[in-house]
Structure 1
């Protein structure tokens, strides 16, 4: 494939945008080469500025669960835009999507909409600190909760990719209140709690990790976190920015029947527009201004375009709960096919999957946390990424990202992908 136009556009972008991109992982620094500039997308496919068609396995990093340019979402945005794009005042739409979200997700009474997953997680931690009157939080190495200062302590995803998990600009005072735990290791969490008695406001976790590749929780891990939090007066925050409305209508809380105290959302809940949200039972949410003392605000929070897109998306998912089973089946089919051809070509690998999330790790050992994810052979991943790109398949340009499956993918697309993996893996 030729990427002449993309290369030209990237050179122009580098002159006026830091690194030529507005989010670091897009820059291809982890895999080498020039970023692909997208012109349009429809269904399961991206169309780049050079006219190439690519089967898409990032789907805007998760929200395009029904495919790109999903017609009900597009029409909802168009019709709402005709009436005005932002008011800075309440609209009926906000109540409608809030009521629908609360009805779909277990154990939440109220929800507040913001503009990104980062903002949702940042606000959730502030709320937890205000509610408990404690300062410290526990996060897990390799879990990414956005780029708020509190979270850039051994974060996953782009932070790993660029080799700077502790970002300059994060103060020592902020860092001291963030305790770092090992994912899937309850004993480690218990030790941190014992060493910081009555100081921990919250434990925040990706209940299914997606920012060190797809890493599901070990059996008993989430249940153990819930019990530790209950026993020690700590709030449990599920960062379901990736998993919310994707792994089940009610997210991981529904999937594993485990209640978190605060849940963060993004991606799917915005239907492709910039939306985040955080939710909890009333006694916690009522600590937010204007009812309570914890301040949180946003001029564009709940803006009509984002709410229209999100409402159309949630309505579609609510009306077709079978989609989650279809996505599970497609993901299992793809994983099984890739496993077969990678084995046949004597490639050392591990595949993790759950629901509509899947990732390929180039290491033989089980990948269960940050340390085991970091053992993967990145040189092989680079060959894998570029080989698939040449075959017309776009996966995340980082070994530390999950793939997202969309309902728009056909089994023909999946077979084509498996054949491409077979072809590429023969060259390792």
Structure 2
């Protein structure tokens, strides 16, 4: 596969962009690649690079491309809106329509504030939680990623883990002291902390963590978290940037029937265009300016292009509930066949999945914690990434990310993915000397 154009662009990029990329995971360094591929365009389930190589896309812009790239109805809505203007710095009718649509899908959201990104939404939700409770400290969980604001980067997942860091430089000691980080899934540790610390404003959690690789959450754990936080008069924030509208119209909270006080949503509410949002109880949200004195603002918050794409995307999902059944079934079938290949080639691998997202970990035992994820085989994951790329499939360039299945992935796409998987497992089996005699 020729990727010379990507290589040339990368060499030029390094001279004007730190590391040649605008988000660290894109550099492909954690999968031992000399340079990343540069994407030229996307269509349906496919991506095309600057050398016109075609790839089945299993990244989906990290989740929001549930309908694939440039879904015709969404693209038409965006084109119509473009002709009217791209940014006004003033309110538009469609912002109200999108807010009403989101509210109709998430029972926990009584009011919604739009932002330009999930990072901004997470940052603002913590701020308003502090104002509501009059307390300062927050609790988050190891390996859960909530964007790159200071207080939420302490022991975060996603790109930090990819580069073997759990914290970022540039965060003050005071911020670190106000952020308490606990192991995900350890309810007793949470209980002990709440009993000893009386200045906790909020607990923020990914109900299904997908930034240390996908971790399969037990409903009972989240129910216990919800109950104890309610008793302590602390704000519970669900970060559903990845899971919201991806696993169901109402996210994880709808599936499990667990209602948080605040919910963070990401670019899927804009059909993959730049947008985010946070919402929840009226008494909390009404603390935000101009009603209250918690300041939040943004010229591009509720940008008309993103909002138009979001209205169309969510409307399609709402009017066609069979989409979720389709993608969930495709994912389940794919995971079952991957597990058959794992058994066939006797490779140390396991798959976690929920709805239409999954992570393949190169480990013998089920991955349940951040420590488990960090101990998985990075060399085998690099072989996996490289083999899939050679066979025309682009998977996450980090072992700590999830794969995403879209509505437009075809049976042919699924077969191609499985072919790449089989070639990967054969290489790993040969390398580790465990290839079964019957192969």
TM-score by length of 1: 0.99
The answer to whether the aligner puts 1:81 opposite 2:97 as a matched pair is no
| Gaps in structure 1 of 5+ consecutive residues | none
The Cα shift of 1:162 comes to 1.0
Note the alpha carbon deviations across 1:60-89, whole angstroms, 9 max, x for none. Answer: 111100000111111111111111110000
Alignment correspondent of 2:224: 224
| Gaps in structure 2 of 5+ consecutive residues | 429-439
Alignment correspondent of 1:24: 24
Residue 80 of structure 1 aligns to a residue whose secondary structure is: helix
Residue 427 of structure 1 aligns to a residue whose secondary structure is: helix
Residue 140 of structure 2 aligns to a residue whose secondary structure is: strand
Instruction: Provide the alpha-carbon RMSD of the alignment.
Output: 0.8
Alignment correspondent of 1:57: 58
Residue 217 of structure 1 aligns to a residue whose secondary structure is: coil
Alignment correspondent of 1:405: 405
Note the alpha carbon deviations across 1:155-202, whole angstroms, 9 max, x for none. Answer: 1010011122211100000010100111111111111112212x1011
2 CA distance for matches of 1:344 and 1:163? 32
Note the alpha carbon deviations across 1:273-302, whole angstroms, 9 max, x for none. Answer: 110000102111111111112111111101
The answer to whether the aligner puts 1:338 opposite 2:338 as a matched pair is yes
Alignment correspondent of 2:256: 256
Alignment correspondent of 2:197: 196
Note the alpha carbon deviations across 1:9-38, whole angstroms, 9 max, x for none. Answer: 111111100000000000011012110111
1 CA distance for matches of 2:31 and 2:327? 28
Runs of 4+ in 1 over 2 A off after TM superposition: none
The Cα shift of 1:357 comes to 0.9
State whether residues 156 and 211 of structure 1, in contact with CA within 8 Å, keep that contact through their aligned partners in structure 2: yes
Alignment correspondent of 1:313: 313
Report matched runs for 1:82-231 at 5 Å: 82-197=83-198, 199-231=199-231
Residue 188 of structure 1 aligns to a residue whose secondary structure is: helix
The answer to whether the aligner puts 1:421 opposite 2:382 as a matched pair is no
The Cα shift of 1:253 comes to 1.0
TM-score by length of 2: 0.96
2 CA distance for matches of 1:103 and 1:323? 18
2 CA distance for matches of 1:31 and 1:41? 23
Residue 351 of structure 2 aligns to a residue whose secondary structure is: strand
Residue 359 of structure 2 aligns to a residue whose secondary structure is: strand
Note the alpha carbon deviations across 1:117-167, whole angstroms, 9 max, x for none. Answer: 100100100010011110111000000000000111111010011122211
Alignment coverage as a number of residue pairs: 427
Between 396-405 and 103-112, the greater mean CA deviation after superposition: 103-112
1 CA distance for matches of 2:308 and 2:14? 34
State whether residues 219 and 256 of structure 2, in contact with CA within 8 Å, keep that contact through their aligned partners in structure 1: no
1 CA distance for matches of 2:108 and 2:163? 37
Note the alpha carbon deviations across 1:383-411, whole angstroms, 9 max, x for none. Answer: 11101110111000000001111111012
Alignment correspondent of 1:41: 42
State whether residues 73 and 271 of structure 1, in contact with CA within 8 Å, keep that contact through their aligned partners in structure 2: yes
The Cα shift of 1:420 comes to 1.4
Residue 7 of structure 1 aligns to a residue whose secondary structure is: helix
